[in-house]
Amino acid sequence: SQQGEEDPQALSIQEGENATMNCSYKTSINNLQWYRQNSGRGLVHLILIRSNEREKHSGRLRVTLDTSKKSSSLLITASRAADTASYFCATAPSGNTPLVFGKGTRLSVIA
Amino acid sequence: KAGVTQTPRYLIKTRGQQVTLSCSPISGHRSVSWYQQTPGQGLQFLFEYFSETQRNKGNFPGRFSGRQFSNSRSEMNVSTLELGDSALYLCASSEQQGHEQYFGPGTRLTVT
C-alpha cells in the first residue's frame, strides 16, 4: 500500500486564496518531500523537509512536519492559476528503501 | 546542467510485443528510479539502480526489467505487453537514495 496518503484528493479554490494539502504516512522516515505534476508531465521537486525539522519555507510554499502524528502539510499562499497541478508527497523511509509516493491532491486554481 | 531526458516520448505497441524505454540522468547522478503512473494506481515504483546495480524492485511481474550502464544511463524493458501496461513511465535521477529526485518528462506507452 502507499506510504503517503494525501488529503483532500481534489481541491478547487479562487486565485489569491491559500491552498492547504495534507499528507499522512505510516512508518518512520528520514525526510518527506513534496512534488508538483502538471498534467501528463514529469514531477517537479518542490521542497524537502528532514525528520528533525518542523517547518520549512520556499517562496509561497510552507511545509510543516509532525513526526509524532506522522503527517505533513503543504500550504501554497496567494495561489495563482499556474499553480493548478497535482501535488504529491513522498516519504523517504529509514534504511535502504526507495521514495514512496502518495496518490496526490489535484489542485485547481480558478482565475 | 541538462535535465533528465527520456526517449521515446510516445509509443504505441500491440499486445504481445516488447518495448525498451531509455533514460539519461542528470550528469553526476548515479541513482536512477523508474515509476509507472496510471489513473487508477497512481505512481508506482518499478525499480532503482545505483552504479549499475539494482538496489530495489517494486511489486511488478518479471516482464518488467531494467538495467543501468556505466555512464548511468538506464533502460527498462517490458516484454509480452498487456493492455494494462498502458501508462506514463517516468524516470527520475538523484545524487543519492532518499534525496530529491529529478524527473524526466516521461514516456507515454499505449498498448492496443
Of A44, A88, A97, the CB nearest to B43: A88
* pLDDT of amino acid B16: 98
What's the whole-number mean pLDDT along residues B75-103?
94
Q: Which of B92, B81, B90, B86 is nearest to B109 (CA)?
A: B86
Of A40, A41, A99, the CB nearest to B101: A99
Residue B31: pLDDT band with limits 50, 70, 90: very high
Question: Do the chains contact at A104 and B4, CB–CB below 8 Å?
Answer: no
Torsion of CA B65, B69, B71, B73, to 10 degrees: -20
Considering only residues 72 to 101 of chain B, which have any Cβ-Cβ distance to chain A shorter than 8 Å?
88, 90, 92, 97-101
A10 to chain B, any CB pair closer than 8 A? The answer is no
Distances (CA, A) of B64 to A82, B6, B78: 36, 17, 5
Which strands, in side-by-side order, build the sheet including B5-7?
Answer: B5-7, B19-24, B74-78, B64-68
* pLDDT of amino acid A1: 43
- The vertex-A58 CA angle with A52 and A63, nearest 5°, equals 45
Of A42, A100, A103, the CB nearest to B103: A42
* Cβ neighbours of B48 in A, within 8 Å: 98
Task: Give A16→chain B minimum CA distance, Å.
Answer: 29
Distances (CA, A) of B103 to A18, A36, A66: 27, 11, 27
A43 to chain B, any CB pair closer than 8 A? The answer is yes
Q: Splitting chain A (111 residues) into consecutive groups of 10 residues, what average pLDDT does each group show?
A: 76 97 92 93 94 97 97 98 96 80 94 91
DSSP conformational letter for B80: S
Q: Quote the cell numbers at residue B65.
A: 526489467
Distances (CA, A) of A2 to A89, A94, A101, B26, B72: 11, 16, 7, 27, 28
**Mean pLDDT across chain A, nearest whole number?**
92
